[in-house]
A and B are shown apart, each in its own frame.
Chain A
Amino acid sequence: MAVAYLPTSAPAERHSLVSRLLEDERWLALALFLPTVVILGLFIAYPFVEGVLLAVTDAKVGVPGHFVGLNNFAKLWNDSIFRTAVWNTFWYTGVTTVFKLALGLWLALLLNRHFKGKAITRAFVLLPFIIPTVLSTFAWKWMFDPTFSVINWTLYRLGLIHGRINWLSDPDLAMISVIIVNIWRGVPFYAISLLAGLQTINPELQEAAAIDGARPWQRFWHVTWPLLLPVTMVVVLFSVIQTFADFQLVYVLTGGGPANATHLFATYAYQVGIGAGLLSEGAAISLAMFPALLIVVVIQLLYIRRVETH
């Protein structure tokens, strides 16, 4: 009988050991935490560390390179295209965020009302966000085409312009075009997220304020907006991170041109690192956006925490 017990007793003991360990909260927390750590380590930390290591070498495509300290960053300091890319990135992120927030909030407030065909309207509003960016940006590229722009054609037919508008050939207009497309694409994300936030606000609060004589604007400013603020901050945080590191939209629409006028951090890093094969310099450009992004994230997270604790 003792022999018969042996094979089953070992797993049982192991089983009980695992159970005992998992009953301990510290071990359970570790077990639950481990998959996240592995995933973050593999897909976030490892590429990040590799990027840092690459940025302090003179590696080129196919050539491992040697340690050069901060040489690549010193080069960037004297690089006028990099300075343009830095300015563009901040400008692009700032302008688009303001417009996306304003338009998104406006749309969310409209969609929060009751009207016929509400469900289908909400679904349509999401379309720009659902369509793959590359695909929709190609459509915009055709609309801004130097020769065959449908926008120009329409404006011309309406008698609003007499010559051609060079949307993507003029540096300022090219930047405006890129900003327009980003806003078009980003507004649905704001609208739907803020709509979700609006729907969590108890309507009784609005009713109470109305009974107290608050006008619509006062109700929005003193009731809706404070309650919507935490959601808004999270939405803005995500959007700023995405916009700051945007690549595909600019790459497809202008390729960073004309004459590098619309480069962002990511597109310039791509041109230098992947196009010209200067991997270390490309990594340094990518890494240069990290401190700015970190500051934005920390400030916003601190703000969110403050709002929540109040």
Chain B
Amino acid sequence: MARLDRRSFIKLSGCGAITAGMGGMAGILASGRAPAHAQVTTLHWLRWNDFVPASDQLLRREIAAECEKALGVKLNVETINANDIQARVTSAIQSGSGPDIVCVLNNWAQLYGESLVDVSNIADEIGKAQGGFYETSKAVANDGKKWIALPWSIVGLQIAYRKSWFAEIGYTDGKFPQTWQEYRDAGKKLKAKNRPIGQTLGHTFGDAPAFAYPYLWSWGGKEVEADGKTVVLNSPATVESVKFMVAFWKDAHDEGGLAWDDSNNNRAFLSGTCCATLNGASIYIEALRKPESYMTETGAQMKDDILHAPLPQGQGGQFSYHVPFSNMLMSYSKNRDVGTKFLRWIHSREVFDKWFVSQKGFSVGPTTEWEKHKLWNDDPIMLPYKQAARTGRFAGYEGPSTRKAAEVVTKYIIIDMYAKAVQGMSAEEAVKWAHNELVKIYGA
């Protein structure tokens, strides 16, 4: 082999580099296109830390890879605590930079309407192709004129309860209290055995509003009239609901719930310290995922002792509030076209199906078609979630779920009304306080 001295090597490699460089540049200039590696657009999608971690993994690995293949888009999925999403959105909008797409909860999209791309075209397509959006989906992602976000999913909320513990106090064969009074009586008996009901009345995105709002409605209370302006919270029905809550809390609840976030009740239930809690199906799904880790006091697997039921009814009816998610395409994004393509692709039946299956029923689809999915045949315990989204009302009732209604949710006023009373304020004072707060918001 010929010996290559240092001087020759430098000469040769230098020539090679120049030639390659010249050829490369010439090629790029001639084609008039950027090199392939520079063409890949990165799309930044901000979401919550899913209570079903497998879904986040699916998005990061499988879906991201498919996205790059199908659209030539590199998908960067970032997940954070749901309670921190609003702070991220505010700072992103004000600075004009941040995630291209943000998946928000509740009716938060209404707060940012001016800073979002109109996605009516895609929403109309998806809605038409997939059986029509639920009312909840529309309430939170449509501002009355256009779609400001694309409904992604709805986390159904039901009461998860311990079958055996309720059977011990007379609710055999999987029966569950039908009225608030029955639920209170049952809770009282169970609390006496150190098995209280676990419920948050704290400042947290999901379980707190999903409990407080339907509870209010079921007593006949509401925020505003249908005009969306006239505040009518301070009514005998609301005062009655608050009075009942104070006694209900003391009699039947774990009083630590005032400081709970959305994960505290999962931990409490799975560790056997509460008998029932309003929740998405994440408790049951976690118990299924690790059957050996979660046991009852008798040594049986916890998963076999969990059932689901809707919130009980009151004198005003029976209601629920399920937590909707929607994707906002940010108007500051430089990738708006790519973002539009991506949303159309990810919401398509074929792609969404994979994510939907990974949720195992924790989320229902934003449209009615997903009720027909074969997934619902897999596990009868999950059946109460199948059509849950049909019964949901949304914040701002009886008016539309506008920016003002979103402000009420974000400031936790309805939840605090109950929390203040539980902490010792008189029911009348608590309702008066909340009513005045609502007047400030709806009257502004």
- Say which residue of A147, A171, A258, A279 sits within 8 Å of B94 (CB atoms): A279
Which of chain A's residues have a CB closer than 8 A to the CB of B255? 166, 169
Contacts of A275 on B, CB cut-off 8 Å? 86-87, 90, 410-411
Residue B423 interfacial (CB < 8 Å): yes
Q: State in angstroms the CA–CA spacing of A256 and B87 once bound together.
A: 15
A168 at the interface (CB under 8 A from B): yes
B433: which A residues are within 8 A, CB to CB?
A: 80
Check A147–B111 contact: CB distance below 8 A: no
List B9-64 residues whose CB lies under 8 Å from chain A.
Answer: none
Residue A155, interface by CB 8 Å: no
CB proximity to A under 8 Å, residues B249-276:
254-260, 264, 267-268, 271, 273
- In the complex, whether B308 has a CB less than 8 A from a CB of chain A is no
Asked whether, in the complex, the Cβ of B271 is within 8 Å of the Cβ of A147, the reply is yes
A156 in contact (CB, < 8 A): no
List 10 A–B pairs whose Cβ atoms lie within 8 Å, in order of A's numbering.
A60-B111, A147-B254, A147-B268, A168-B258, A169-B258, A258-B258, A259-B415, A259-B419, A275-B410, A276-B86
* A181–B341 alpha-carbon span in the complex (Å): 49
Q: How far is the CA of A283 from the CA of B411 in the complex (A)?
A: 16
Report the separation of the CA atoms of residues A164 and B256 in the bound assembly, to the nearest whole angstrom: 9
Asked if A257 is at the interface of the complex by the 8 Å CB criterion, the answer is yes
Seed contacts A170-B258, A274-B91, A277-B86; 4 additional CB < 8 Å A-B pairs: A61-B89, A256-B203, A259-B201, A276-B411
The answer to whether A278 has its CB under 8 Å from any CB of chain B is yes
Asked whether any CB of chain A lies closer than 8 Å to the CB of B304, the reply is: no
Chain A residue numbers with a CB within 8 Å of B440 are: 75
Residue B78 CB within 8 A of the other chain: no
Tell me if A284 counts as interface (CB < 8 A to partner B).
no
Given contacts A61-B115, A274-B86, contact A259 B423 (CB under 8 A): yes
Interface residues of A (CB under 8 A from B): 60-63, 75, 80, 145-148, 164, 166, 168-171, 174, 254-261, 270-279
Closest beta carbon of chain B to A89's beta carbon, Å? 19
Nearest-neighbour CB distance to chain A for B12, whole angstroms, equals 41
A169 and B259 contacting across the interface, CB-CB below 8 Å: yes
CB distance from A82 to the nearest CB of B (A): 12
In the complex, residue of chain B having the shortest beta-carbon distance to the beta carbon of A75: B440
Q: Which range holds the interface residue count of chain B?
A: 35 or more
Let me know if B410 and A62 touch, CB within 8 A.
Answer: no
Instruction: Give the Cβ gap from B38 to chain A, nearest Cβ, in Å.
Output: 31
Q: Contact at B271–A277, with CB atoms within 8 Å?
A: no
Please pick, from A61, A148, A164, A272, the residue contacting B111 in the complex, using a CB distance under 8 A. A61
Q: Which residues of chain A are within 8 angstroms of B303 by Cβ–Cβ distance?
A: none
CB distance from A251 to the nearest CB of B (A): 10
Report B110 CB to chain A, min CB distance, Å. Answer: 10
Query: 3 tightest A-B contacts by CB?
Result: A146-B256, A62-B115, A259-B419
**Max chain B C-beta neighbours (<10 A), residue from A148, A166, A259, A275:** A259
Interface set, chain B 265-290, CB cutoff 8 A to A:
267-268, 271, 273
Are A254 and B423 in contact (CB-based, < 8 A)? no
Q: Is the CB of B260 within 8 A of A146?
A: yes
A258 contacts B201, C-beta separation under 8 Å: yes
Closest Cβ–Cβ distance, residue B403 to chain A (whole Å): 8
Whole-angstrom CA separation of A71 from B87 in the bound complex: 24
CB neighbours (8 Å) of A169 from chain B are 255-259
- A298 → B minimal CB distance (Å): 32
The answer to whether A278 touches B259 (Cβ under 8 A) is: no
- The answer for the CA separation of A164 and B411 in the assembled complex, in Å, is 29
Taking the closest CB of chain B, its distance from the CB of A106, in whole angstroms, is 32
CB distance from B442 to the nearest CB of A (A): 14
Q: Which among B258, B264, B410 has the highest number of chain A CB atoms within 10 Å?
A: B258
- Asked if B124 CB lies within 8 Å of chain A CBs, one says no
B138 within 8 A of A: no
CB distance from A156 to the nearest CB of B (A): 13
Known interface pairs A61-B115, A275-B410; A146-B259 also in contact (CB < 8 Å):
yes
Distance in Å: Cβ of B11 to nearest Cβ of chain A: 37
B86, B115, B259: which contacts A258 (Cβ < 8 A)? B259
In the complex formed, the residue of B with least CB distance to A144 is B259
CB atoms of B258 and A61 under 8 A apart: no
Nearest-neighbour CB distance to chain A for B295, whole angstroms, equals 17
Cross-chain contact B203 with A257 (CB below 8 angstroms): yes
A171 partner residues in chain B, CB cutoff 8 A:
423
**For residue A256, which residue of chain B has the nearest CB?**
B203
Taking the complex as formed, is B100 at the interface, i.e. its CB lies under 8 A from any CB of chain A?
no
**A254 and B94 alpha carbons, distance in the complex (Å):** 27
Q: How far is the CA of A71 from the CA of B258 in the complex (A)?
A: 33
B28 → chain A closest CB, angstroms: 39
> Which A residues are in CB contact (< 8 Å) with B83?
255
**Residue from A174, A270, A271, A275 having most chain B Cβ neighbours under 10 A:** A275
Interface membership of B202, Cβ < 8 A: yes
Complex: A62 Cα to B110 Cα, angstroms: 12
- How far does the alpha carbon of A304 sit from the alpha carbon of B94 in the complex, in Å? 41
Judge whether B407 is part of the interface by a CB distance below 8 angstroms: yes
Query: A55 vs B129: C-alpha distance in the bound complex, in angstroms?
Result: 47
Q: Is B416 an interface residue (CB 8 A)?
A: yes
B203 partner, pick from A61, A75, A164, A255, beta carbons under 8 A = A255
Q: Does B355 lie at the interface of the complex (its beta carbon under 8 Å from any beta carbon of A)?
A: no
Complex Cα spacing A277 to B114, Å: 12
Distance of A171 Cα from B91 Cα, bound (Å): 30
**For B87, B90, B113, B271, which residue has the most chain A Cβ atoms within 10 angstroms?**
B90
Contact of B202 among A145, A258, A272 (CB under 8 A): A258
B87 to chain A, nearest CB (A): 5
A260–B416 CB distance below 8 A:
yes
User: Which chain A positions have C-beta within 8 A of B338?
Assistant: none
Task: Tell whether B370 is near chain A: CB-to-CB under 8 Å.
Answer: no
Which B residues lie within 8 Å of A148 (CB)? 267, 271
The answer to whether the Cβ of B93 comes within 8 Å of any Cβ in the partner chain is yes
B259/A277 in contact, CB under 8 A? no
Contact A61 B112 (CB under 8 A): yes
| Cβ contacts under 8 Å, B201 to chain A | 258-259
**How close is B275's CB to chain A, nearest CB, in angstroms?**
14
Check B162 for interface membership: any CB of A closer than 8 A: no
Task: For the complex, give the distance between the alpha carbons of A145 and B265 in Å.
Answer: 12
B420 part of interface (Cβ distance < 8 Å): yes
Shortest CB–CB separation between residue A310 and chain B, in angstroms? Answer: 48
Task: Report the bound CA distance from A279 to B83 in whole Å.
Answer: 18
Q: How far is the CB of A223 from chain B (nearest CB, A)?
A: 48
Tell me the bound Cα distance from A225 to B174 in angstroms: 72
Taking a contact as CB atoms under 8 Å apart, the answer to whether A147 and B264 are in contact is: yes
Asked whether A274 and B87 contact (CB < 8 A) given A80-B433, A147-B264, A166-B255, the answer is: yes
